[in-house]
Amino acid sequence: MSVSTHVLDSVTGRPAAGVAVALFAGDELLASGATDADGRCRLAEGATGTGAHRLVFGTGEWFTGQGRETFYPEVVLTFAVRGPAEHHHVPLLLSPFAYSTYRGS
């Protein structure tokens, strides 16, 4: 299974560079990193198993670094892995007081 994300600041219409991201399966930390200049982060390559996985985004620290307030100090997205050989792309569209996501390709 591979997992990647793409974080976009929907207020500025720009990539959100430098957002901390962690990937968990249950309580086990599988990978962590930060978004690059294009707002992208690749977190896992290879089999990690099926079941629930979580992406945890450090949005509070990122907004503080931007000199902005946010209602969400972190965003947690839980998704189901049914096909461990598939690529899972989970984008995050972010603003200080709302966020949305979808299953990407």
| 62, amino acid identity | W
Which pLDDT score, from 0 to 100, does residue 7 have?
A: 98
94: exposed, middle or buried (C-beta count within 10 Å: 0-12, 13-18, 19+)?
buried
| Number of structural domains found in the chain | 1
Amino acid 47: pLDDT: 66
pTM of the model: 0.94
What confidence tens digit (pLDDT) does each residue in 64-96 have?
999 999 999 999 999 999 887 888 999 999 999
Tokens of 3: 């997992």
Q: What is the DSSP letter of 86?
A: S
pLDDT of residue 54: 96
What CATH number does the domain containing 13 carry?
Answer: 2.60.40.180
Q: What is the pLDDT of residues 47-59, one digit of tens each?
A: 668 899 999 999 9
Structural domain boundaries, residue 40: 2-101
Mean pLDDT on 24-42: 96
